Amino acid sequence: SHTLTVRVEDEAGNVKYSVPLTITVDTQITIDDIELVNDSGTKGDNLTNDANPHFRITVPGDVNEVSLSIDGGVTWVKAMQSSTSGVWNYTWPKTLADDDYTLTVKATDNAGNTVTWTLDFTIDTTLSTPVIVLDSADDTGVQGDNMTNRTQPTFNLQHIDDDAVRVTVSVEHGGVTTTFDVTKDAGGWTFTPPTSWGAGDYTLSVSVEDKAGNTSHSASLTVTVDTQIAINNIELVNDSGIPDDNLTNNVRPQFQV
């Protein structure tokens, strides 16, 4: 700041001073921070599954206007100043489509200085519905009947989006549910139980979460593990001798199993 005083002296030597005037020279302005408040993925990655993004802009206290644009400056909207000095907020009222965007923020202070700053962000509100199927090599009965004599069958996980950050398989058996984390291998997304299963029914489902925090769940799949078979009885139907002595005079013996 600078203080100016005017001094006047006339021909008679009288001197008079003005009231001092203080002026401030301000040639700089900054935008200290732009925050995507509803960042739903990893904080700070500017990825959200909210189609109405909320931005918080932090600027010096002498800023009197903050405007935002997502179309390269063609259209501007004004942010609202919060009760905290230097903090401005704006929530997009119109639902934005899934896409990559560049936000431009323009701030103007009391001295008329203007500054702009940009922030890249992404809207991602969708995630494919995953599917779990019993691998055909382990579907040992009629193909598609989801019956197997394998105690550690392999399952294929389908429709897993590339931006998935967590994939889990939940297995329910006997009223107990266990959840396993799954990682992608060279052959794709598969799940094989880490321990052998006993005979019985098992119900499996897949859950997926992506970088934006979207979640999706598969329909459940029930498979039956059946590892035993028995022959309960073999009877010689035309036993012609003493019953059950398995002796017959019929050259075409008939058996009932």
Q: Which residues 6+ apart lie within 8 Å of 79 measured at CB? A: 55, 57, 66, 67, 68, 88, 89, 90
- Domain end position, chosen among 123, 156, 177: 123
| φ/ψ of residue 138, rounded to 5 | -105, 0
Please state the pTM of the whole predicted model.
0.76
* pLDDT at res. 256: 85
- Domain end position, chosen among 96, 123, 150: 123
Q: State which residues form the domain around 71.
A: 28-123
CA distance 31 to 244: 99
* pLDDT at res. 187: 80
* pLDDT at res. 148: 95
- Domain end position, chosen among 91, 123, 155: 123
pLDDT tens string, the chain, 257 residues long: the values are: 889 999 999 888 889 999 999 888 777 899 999 999 999 988 899 999 999 999 999 999 999 999 999 999 999 999 999 999 999 999 999 999 999 999 999 999 998 899 999 999 999 999 999 999 999 999 997 898 999 999 999 999 999 999 999 999 999 999 999 999 999 988 899 999 999 999 999 999 999 999 999 999 999 999 999 988 777 888 888 888 888 888 888 888 898 88
For residues 173 and 181, the answer to whether their CB atoms sit within 8 Å is no
Domain containing residue 85: CATH number: 2.60.40.650
139 and 115 assigned to the same domain: no
- 252 occurs within a structural domain: no
* pLDDT at res. 25: 72
- 69 occurs within a structural domain: yes
